[in-house]
Structures are given as C-alpha cells and as structure tokens.
Amino acid sequence: MSFRPFYFLKESLVSFKKNWVISMAGVTTVALSLLLVGSFMLFAFAMNSLIKSTEQKVEVVLFLDQGVPGESVEALQAELMSWEEIKNVLYVSKDQALERLKKDFKGSEIVDNITGNPLPASLEITLKDPQKANNVVDRLKDRPEIDDIMHDREIVEKLFAVTRVARWFIAIFVGLLAFASLLLIANAIRLAIYARRKEVTIMRLVGASSWFIRWPFLLEGILQGFIGALIAITLLYIAKVTLIDKIKNSILMFLPIGLSQQEFYQLVFGLIVAGVVIGAAGSVVALRRFLRV
Amino acid sequence: MSFRPFYFLKESLVSFKKNWVISMAGVTTVALSLLLVGSFMLFAFAMNSLIKSTEQKVEVVLFLDQGVPGESVEALQAELMSWEEIKNVLYVSKDQALERLKKDFKGSEIVDNITGNPLPASLEITLKDPQKANNVVDRLKDRPEIDDIMHDREIVEKLFAVTRVARWFIAIFVGLLAFASLLLIANAIRLAIYARRKEVTIMRLVGASSWFIRWPFLLEGILQGFIGALIAITLLYIAKVTLIDKIKNSILMFLPIGLSQQEFYQLVFGLIVAGVVIGAAGSVVALRRFLRV
Amino acid sequence: MGVINAMIKVKNVTMNYKGAHRSALKDISVDIDRGEFVFLVGPSGCGKSTFIRLLLRELIPTKGDIFIAGHDLINMRRWRVPQLRRNIGCVFQDFKLLPNKTVYENVAFALEVIGSPTKAIRAQVPEVLKLVGLEDKLQDYPDELSGGEQQRVSIARAFANRPSIILADEPTGNLDPTTSSGIMALLNKINRTGTTVLVATHDREMVDSMRKRVIALEEGTLIRDQQRGVYGYEE
Amino acid sequence: MGVINAMIKVKNVTMNYKGAHRSALKDISVDIDRGEFVFLVGPSGCGKSTFIRLLLRELIPTKGDIFIAGHDLINMRRWRVPQLRRNIGCVFQDFKLLPNKTVYENVAFALEVIGSPTKAIRAQVPEVLKLVGLEDKLQDYPDELSGGEQQRVSIARAFANRPSIILADEPTGNLDPTTSSGIMALLNKINRTGTTVLVATHDREMVDSMRKRVIALEEGTLIRDQQRGVYGYEE
Ligand SMILES: Nc1ncnc2c1ncn2[C@@H]1O[C@H](COP(=O)(O)OP(=O)(O)OP(=O)(O)O)[C@@H](O)[C@H]1O
Ligand SMILES: Nc1ncnc2c1ncn2[C@@H]1O[C@H](COP(=O)(O)OP(=O)(O)OP(=O)(O)O)[C@@H](O)[C@H]1O
Ligand SMILES: [Mg+2]
Ligand SMILES: [Mg+2]
C-alpha cells in the first residue's frame, strides 16, 4: 500500500476541523511560543544595534608631534585607512582643536586665559571592531610622528564588560525561550495525541500500518505549526509597524535601533520553519507510544 | 452533601498520579511558562538597576562666581541639601578643579600653558530623581552666587529617551510574557480536561453535583500549578546563584546590577501565587462545558 | 397534582435528536407505578436507550412532559439534577465506568456522591459486588475486565445506593445465560423490596419466562403495553 | 511445516495478563480449518475475548504458539502485523468505532487501509452497510447511533474487505432476536463462500439452532470441542 498524498492531506484537513478544540490548542500554543521568541528576537536586534552604536563611540585619538610635516601626516592617515581594523581616520588640525576647546568651555574663563594655540593636531580613528582598540594602540605607540595616544583602556574595558554581559543575557534568554517554546509545543501536541490515543489503537487493530496512521497526524502537526507561525508573524508584523517603526521615527531618530527589512524576513522564515518542524516532529514522537499495538 | 476536604484532597492526589501523562504536561507547562516570566523578571530587574545607575550619572554643576564668600557658598550648599529633589551636593574648590583638569589633560601641552588658576569653584549636584534636573536648573538660574550652570539639556533628554524606550520594551515584554504564560497554561489545562471529558460526564450521570466533581479537578490544578511554580523557582534560584551572582561578583563589581534578596523573595512569592491561581482558575473554566450534562 | 401517583410519568413525549432526520420517540405516554417491574423491548434503534436517557434527564425531550416521583424534569433547575439522579440507579448500555478507578472505587463512587460515611462504604461495596459475582476483582481497573465483568460492575453501581428506581439498559447483553438469570433474579428481588425497575432488553427467553409488564416500541412509537406480557407476538 | 494445514492453529497457549492473579487462558490447543464455522462459548470472564485478541495479535501469549495461515504470530515482526490484520475481519465486543468518522467513513477505513481504489470503496461501502440494515445511517457519527446500530457498523467493517477470517466477539449482544438471526444468517452465508468464521457468543438459542462446531471454555480451560454442538449441556 503506497503513499497517497491526497488521501492523507484530506484526512489531516478533515481531522483538523473535527478535532477543533485540540487543533486550536495546538495552534495557539505554537502561536504564543513563537510570538514570544519572535518578539524577543526583535527586542534583541534592537538592543544589539544599540550596544553596537555605543561601542562604536570608542575612538583612538593620536596627538601628532608639533613638527611633523603635512605629507607625513597624510601618509600616516592613508596607511591607517588601509588597516583592516580601522574604519575611518579624521584629521583635526591645531586650529580646529582650539575651536573645539573654545566651544566646549564657552562661558568659562579658561578660554580667555589661553595664549596662542597650545593644542596639537590629531588623528581621530574610528574602528571597525572597537574590541580591537588595544591592538591598534599597541601597534602605533612607538611611531615617531605620534606624540601621545588618547585611549582610556580602563573605561573601554568596563564598557565592553557591560555590553558583553548584556549580550550574554540576551543570548541566554533567546536560548531559554527557544528551548521552552520547543517543550511547550511538544507538550501541547503530546496532550493532543494523548486525547486521541484510542483512535490510534483502533486504526492499528483494523490493519492500518504505522505510516498510514502517522501521515495524517504528521500533516496535522505541520498544519498546526504553520498556522500558529502565521499568527505569530502577523502579530509581530503589527507590533513592528505600530510600535517599533513609530518609536524609530520619532524619539529615537538618532539611535540606529531596529532591524532591516531583510532581518525581519529572516526572522519570519525562521519562525515558520520552526513551527512546521516542531509540529511535525512533535506529532511523530508523541504517536510512537500508541503505535505499539 | 457537604464539602469534604479530605476526600477531595485524596481524590486529587490519586488522580494526579493516575493521569501521569496529563499531570506532567500541566506541570511542565506551568514550570516553563513561569520560568520564562521569572527569568525575564530577573533580567528586567538587572536592566532596571543598570538604567537607574546610568541616569544617576546625570549631574547639575553650578560654577560659582569668583567673588562669592565662603559662608554664602556653605549656605547655598545647605539650602540645596534641603531640597527634596536633591540627593547630594559636592563642593569643588578652585584648586581641586585645576588638579582635575591637569589630570584629565595629562601629557598634553595644554596644561603647561595655563597660567595661574583660571578655573571657578563649583557645586556638583546629584539628584534623587534625575528626570527633575530641568526643574532644578530653572529654579537656580537667576541666583547671584552662580556664574554659570553646566547641564546639557539635550544630552540628558536623549539619554532619558533611550532609557524610557528600554523601560517600555521591558514592560511590554513582561506583559506579553505574563499574558502568553496565562494562555499557555490555560491551554494545557483545557487539553488535560478535554482528555478526561468522558469521566466528567459519567460522574454527572451517576449523580455527582458540579462541586463534587469540580473540587478534585480544582485541587489537581492547584497542585500542578504549585509543583510547576516550585520547579520554575528552583531553576531560577540555580540560575541566580550560578550565573547572576557570579557575574555580579566578578566583572560587574562596579555595576549596581541585580536584585536584593527581598526582591527575589517577592518574585518567588508572585510566581507561586500565579501558578496556583492560574492552575485553579484554568481547571474550573475548562470544566464548565462538560458539567452541562 | 394528579401526576404524583405514578413513579414515572411520561406524557406525550417526542424526542428529535439534533440533526436527525426522524424522531427517536414519537408522542409516547407511559405511566409506571411505584414498585412496578417493566420490560422495554423493541428492535435495534427503536428508541429504548433514548427513553431511558430521558428519564435520567441526560436528554430533554423536544415535546411533552416527564415527571419522576412528582418532580417535573423539564423545568428542573440544573443544580437539582444530581439529587434526582441519586435516586435513580442506571445500568448503561455502554457501562460508563470511570477508567481511572478500580471496580471497588467505581461502585464506591455512587455512595461517595450521596455522602455515605466511609465505614458504610467499606462494608457495602464488597457486598454488592459479591452479588454480581465480582468479589475477586475489587482492585481491577475497567480495562482489565471482560465485557461481562464490566457490565456487572455497572449493575452493581446502579443498585449500590439502594435507589428507588432502577433503569437497566440491556443489562445482560454481554452475559452468558446462567449469569443473566442470576442478574434478573437479583433485579426481581430488588423489585420485591419496593424498587421500581425498568429493563430495556433483547433477551426474549428472559422476558417470556418472567411474564412482567412489557412495553414495546417500534421506530419510536409505542406499539404495545401489556401486563404479564411476552417479548413478541410473531417470529 | 505441518502447521500450515490449519487456518488457525493454537498450540498450548497460556495467557497471563500482567498483574493478574490467575491465567486468562490455560494451555489451550485448537485447530480451525479453512472454511470452518466455530462458536466459542463459555461464561462471562472465561477467556473468549482473550482468545480472539490473541489471534489478532493484540496480545502475545505468555506461552505457546499461534499460527494463522501458516504465519507464526509470536515471532512476527511488528511491521508485518498490519498485513496479518488486513486478512482478518474482527467484530469487537466494544465495537471500536472511530469517533470522528461517520458510519460510511468507518467502514471505508477498512478499505482505505488495504489500498482499495476510491471507486471500489464508493460502491462497496453502502452495499455492505445495507446488508446490516444501516443504509440510512451512512452520515451519522458513532455517538449518534444506538448500541445495536454501532454493533452493526462494527460487523459491516469486519467483512467489508472480504477477509479470509472473521472473528466476531459477541456480535449480537446488543441486537434484538430478529436482527441477530439476520446477522447470523449473513455470517453463515459468508462462511459458505470459504471464509473461516469464529464467533464468541452467549446466544444459546442461536448456537443450539445452527449446530456448528462449538468450543467451550471455562475459567480459561478448554472443556469441550464438539462438532455440531450445542450451547451447553445443563441448565
Ligand atoms: N487487560 C487485562 N488485564 C488483566 N486481566 C484481564 C485483562 N483483560 C481481561 N482480563 C481478565 O481475563 C479474564 C478473561 O477475560 P476475557 O475478556 O477474555 O473474558 P470473556 O470470555 O471475553 O468474558 P465476557 O463474556 O464477559 O466478555 C477475565 O477474568 C478478565 O478479568
Ligand atoms: N445522539 C444522537 N443523535 C442523533 N440520533 C441519535 C442519537 N442517539 C440515538 N440516535 C438515533 O435514535 C434512534 C433511537 O436510538 P436508541 O439508542 O434509543 O435505540 P435503542 O432502542 O436503544 O437501540 P439498541 O437496542 O440498538 O440499543 C436510533 O435510530 C439512533 O440512530
Ligand atoms: Mg440502546
Ligand atoms: Mg469478552
């Protein structure tokens, strides 16, 4: 007796409808679990870009020796730009430095007391990976052109400690959520099949093979998972549009919060796959006990 | 026929054991849901204290007029200390200010070029509620003793925008988690009772009153909720001891992260109450349909 | 009311199941007095179980009135129904045993429900189960019993609390002739103590030998109500 | 093997249910030839259903061997069991109908399982259901049927796919005498086309009138195996 897709599909659809209470329980469990995972993922994406933008603020400033000629500076700047770790190098001339100081200390008497321009020119380096700052500093510290390097190792390390912990927290919680969702869905499916265990036994006794029984349950599990995932995604989408995008466009304009369209589609795809796979696998595993007859 | 606590208790315990598959599904659902809520609450507590400590860094600095006598300064300091919004006021003398500057600009030529001491004395104000900073500034800005007030309104507002959003995110997600947990648990209990609907009908037909049937189910729901909550709490406690407390004692010494013992007990108590109440209510609601016979 | 003279009074009752294309019972009127013993007979699907389910108020008739010991079943409040059922012992055609309770516990349940003291339950349950020949199956679960044994548990439960009415739906369908006779003799004995007994059955031998009142249904219509009757005229 | 001569060969079979204090069957040996019609009788709880469940391989005996059409049931691989069952039509004492399928679908299921084409199913199912008198209940669900109607669905399902063996456990327990005779006549007819039929029953009238081979059990022991036998000697 061969695999008959249409018969199994029909069976599963009919059964989905007839066991409405059970089907709905499965669907809502999948939907809620995936909604939790999904919304926390959105949250995690947002947090992550926030963390990243904070880390990006870490800069290395090179104060240049007073006597270094313009060409050397340009050469140094070009060389630095070619380094892998480095994203950008900004030249700040002596005049620009003085202007900044004046602006920073505007209204205070300190500015009035400065004679001439005691400030050095500098190169402000932005890093691709801020964690590599110490590296860059070590490689540069003996260069003759450079008078001094400003880079507060201690503060940077503190900052990274904090962001590392935040990342860990988020990763652990995403893992926990994923794991819990899996168990919750598996649980609901197990209960659903438990409620129908008598049917399974009867089918076996009437001569149905294991796969003949399994297929409709499997397809039903997939259906539950799929519908649940769709519901979760719809709710997430609504949340994204009404909440996150609004926040992004108003108060948080200046923050690179949130996720790209592509990331959102990846999330959606991931959720659907998760729903379908867990639904199918859950059904098959839960059935096993009752197919022993 | 009166309420017979011992009979009902015995019935519920026996039934809990006999319907092992169902009971375990209920218990794990409660445990997982509450674990999610609980661990996110821990996370939220930690985030909250982190946010608070960041906000606490907001200061208002009053630069004093050069000519103000020592007594006036002390009087001003005393007055400010008595304000409700203000937590602490620190006096920084001219000499202290210069020392700080020298330290900040150590190694640069700027320090060498400073003649005399151009810096003013100042009062550094820490606020009880940093959100009130603008208030304080407005009340102080016309005082004759004060030359200038340093308080970056824009940056503070940005900071608060960020922390507000973070708080909102956390609150929304806690709400979502609580809501989802409730539904997930209710769902599992509904399936559990659905699997036993025939029993309920039989009991009715043999002459059992609604409450006679309800009590054991109710107690079973409570038992499931209670055991589930206990499991969640145990796991949370382990997580707290092995993860959070360790983090707190090592890298994050300097951060006022995490929660007090008392907050943890409140959380534990809340989770148990939630488990028991949802378990009980879920059972009663799910039973209703089948008691109609 | 003149109604209360009869233990069971069924008046012009019609029952249409939801979605069914014909009535399961059509305009049935029957009075059964206190202490009577009545057989309810008829071909498969004629409405015997429906009749019994109406008396238990498992169903509410589409039309007509039903009174049991003077209580109006149609307008009875839901919370009063358990009270009614505790005075009726019912042997169900499909047994309706609680799968998670042992034989002992199933029978005991009928006594717990009326609030019997534990002592009384401990004494009565084994006694009743002995009457149906199950004294050595007390601790078995329903799915560990044979069909006939399950049926006997259902019978034992039905008269465990000495109800004033016993409704038995096909109580010997899964029993051998010897055990069947024993059960019928038991029902007869219980009837002689004043209990009203209504037995739906297909057991022609039994009906013909006992010569009790026979009510015959066919396709939902009452076609015969005969004192000291037999199972059927023809065949 | 000399074994394959008999359609059903049961050799020194003992069955102890887990946790039971006595054997449900004790050292039973029976051979049933292809095309035989056999009644299995005995008091309630004597082991009739157990015997049938062993032949369906719902149970595996504690001791002994069972062969069906030459296949060794004891050492049969699990994936081969469905194949076995598709050649056996079984009427279960508790009907075992699928609650979520209509009468039509329940019977059709037995045909789906053997991979019958849809066309054949559409033609055969109503025909088989007509044989048991349920032609107007095709779209009803099991819980909308009377006990006897459910039993007849179970019977229809058992011979829908024309199996070579029919095992019927108390197939007329919920049927009136007329319908019972009809079902027995049907089984007899099917038997005459070469199908092996084993009927566990309490219906003395039927057994006595048909004069087929009778196997009698008592407390798990085979006490009589008689060609053209009757239900019982005494009573
Ligand atoms: N699953 C089980 N576990 C333990 N004991 C069982 C189980 N099933 C049946 N029994 C016992 O085995 C014995 C035989 O049971 P079986 O069902 O074969 O009887 P039967 O002849 O079919 O009786 P009936 O005519 O009442 O249906 C009975 O005493 C019964 O209590
Ligand atoms: N829940 C239901 N919904 C629809 N129709 C039903 C329902 N229950 C029973 N019926 C129909 O009502 C009619 C009478 O059923 P009932 O169970 O009363 O018969 P019965 O006399 O007990 O038969 P049996 O002797 O076979 O048990 C039958 O035709 C049956 O199909
Ligand atoms: Mg009936
Ligand atoms: Mg049996």
Q: How many CB atoms lie within 10 A of CB A270?
A: 15
What is the pLDDT, as a whole number, of residue C223?
95
**Residues paired with C72 in a beta bridge:** C67
Distance from CA of B4 to the nearest CA of C (A): 9
User: Stretch D149-153: mean pLDDT, rounded?
Assistant: 96
- Any ligand 2 atom below 6 A from CB of D133: no
Residue A48 exposed, middle or buried by CB count within 10 Å (0-12, 13-18, 19+) = middle
Q: Return the minimum-mean-pLDDT range out of A216-225, C94-103, C169-178, D4-13.
A: D4-13
Residue nearest (by alpha carbon) to ligand 1 atom 23: D45
What is the rounded distance in angstroms from the CA atom of residue C59 to the CA atom of residue B234?
50
Encoding tokens for residue B37? 């809520």
Q: How many CB atoms lie within 10 A of CB A168?
A: 12
- Any ligand 2 atom below 6 A from CB of C20: yes
Q: What is the pLDDT of residues A197-206, one digit of tens each?
A: 999 999 999 9
Task: Report the mean per-residue pLDDT for chain D.
Answer: 93
Distance from CA of A1 to the nearest CA of D (A): 5
Which of A142, A143, A100 has its CA nearest to residue A121?
A: A100
Q: How many CB atoms lie within 10 A of CB D86?
A: 20
Q: Which distant-in-sequence residues (6+ apart) come within 8 Å of A235 by Cβ?
A: A31, A35
User: Chain D: residue nearest C148 by CA?
Assistant: D44
Amino acid type, B193: I
Q: What is the pLDDT of residues B8-40, one digit of tens each?
A: 999 999 999 999 988 999 999 999 999 999 988
What is the rounded distance in angstroms from the CA atom of residue C211 to the CA atom of residue C227?
8
Q: What are phi and psi of D8, to 5 degrees?
A: -125, 125
DSSP letters spanning D2-19: GGGGSSEEEEEEEE--TT
pLDDT at A119 over 60: yes
Q: How many helices (H) and strands (E) does chain D have?
A: 7, 10
Assess whether chains C and A touch, using the rule of 3 or more C-beta pairs within 8 angstroms. Answer: no
Mean pLDDT by 10-residue block, N- to C-terminus, for chain C (235 residues)? 71 94 94 96 96 96 96 94 95 96 96 93 95 94 96 96 96 94 94 96 93 96 94 66
What is the 8-class DSSP label of residue C194? T
pLDDT at B153 over 70: no
Are both A218 and A132 inside the same structural domain? no
**Residues paired with C30 in a beta bridge:** C10
Ligand 1 nearest-atom number relative to CA D93: 27
Interface test with C, best of D153, D176, D233 (most C CBs within 10 A): D176
Inter-chain contact B110–A118, Cβ cutoff 8 Å? yes
Strand C196-200 with C37-41, pairing: parallel
What is the rounded distance in angstroms from the CA atom of residue A22 to the CA atom of residue A34?
18
Are both B104 and B212 inside the same structural domain? no
Ligand sitting nearest the alpha carbon of C148: 1
Q: What are phi and psi of D33, to 5 degrees?
A: -80, 160
d(CA C45, ligand 3 centre) in Å: 7
d(CA D171, ligand 3 centre) in Å: 15
Q: Cβ distance B194 to C145 under 8 Å?
A: no
Q: What is the pLDDT of residues D160-174, one digit of tens each?
A: 999 999 999 999 999
Residues of B in contact with A39 (CB under 8 A): 173, 176
Q: What is the pLDDT of residues B246-276, one digit of tens each?
A: 766 655 545 555 567 788 888 889 999 999 9
Are both A263 and A140 inside the same structural domain? no
pTM for the whole thing? Answer: 0.85
Q: Cβ distance B141 to B153 under 8 Å?
A: no
Which residue intervals of chain D are DSSP H helices?
48-55, 81-86, 103-113, 118-131, 147-160, 177-192, 204-210
Are both B22 and B109 inside the same structural domain? no
What is the rounded distance in angstroms from the CA atom of residue B250 to the CA atom of residue B242?
12
Of residues B137 and B217, the one with the higher pLDDT is B217
Cβ contacts from B onto C, under 8 A: 56
> Given A151, A172, A187, which residue is the final one in a domain?
A151
Of residues B166 and B10, the one with the higher pLDDT is B10
User: Stretch A152-156: mean pLDDT, rounded?
Assistant: 60
Of residues B57 and D68, the one with the higher pLDDT is D68
Range of the domain at A224: 5-54+159-291
User: Stretch B32-52: mean pLDDT, rounded?
Assistant: 83
Burial call C140-151: b when 16+ CB within 10 Å, e when fewer: bbbebbbbbbbb
Q: What residues are neighbours of ligand 4 (ion), with CB under 5 Å? A: C 146-147; D 49, 93
Are both B48 and B102 inside the same structural domain? no
Domain boundaries, chain D: 98-162
Inter-chain contact B206–C157, Cβ cutoff 8 Å? yes
Which of B47, B180, B158 has its CA nearest to residue A47?
A: B47
State ipTM. 0.88
Ligand 2 nearest-atom number relative to CA D147: 27
What is the pLDDT, as a whole number, of residue A108?
54
What is the pLDDT, as a whole number, of residue C189?
94
Helix then strand then coil, % of chain B, to nearest 5: 70, 10, 20
Encoding tokens for residue C89? 């012992």
**Residues paired with C200 in a beta bridge:** C40, C169
What is the 8-class DSSP label of residue A141? T
Encoding tokens for residue B61? 């600095």
Of residues A77 and B219, the one with the higher pLDDT is B219
d(CA D201, ligand 4 centre) in Å: 9
Residues of B in contact with A158 (CB under 8 A): 254
> Given A151, A177, A197, which residue is the final one in a domain?
A151
D71-72 sheet: strands from edge to edge? D25-32, D8-15, D63-68, D71-72
Which of A130, A128, A120 has its CA nearest to residue A151?
A: A130
CB proximity A43 to B under 8 Å: yes
What is the rounded distance in angstroms from the CA atom of residue D209 to the CA atom of residue D36?
17
Angle made by CA atoms C188, C189, C192, in degrees to the nearest 5: 90
What is the pLDDT, as a whole number, of residue B114?
64
Ligand sitting nearest the alpha carbon of D202: 1
Q: Cβ distance D114 to D142 under 8 Å?
A: no
Instruction: Please report the residues numbered 53 through 92 in chain C whose beta carbons come closer than 8 angstroms to any beta carbon of chain D.
Output: none
User: Stretch D191-205: mean pLDDT, rounded?
Assistant: 95
What total number of domains does chain A contain? Answer: 2
What is the pLDDT, as a whole number, of residue D2?
43
What is the rounded distance in angstroms from the CA atom of residue A240 to the CA atom of residue A236?
6
> A153 falls in which pLDDT band (50, 70, 90)?
low
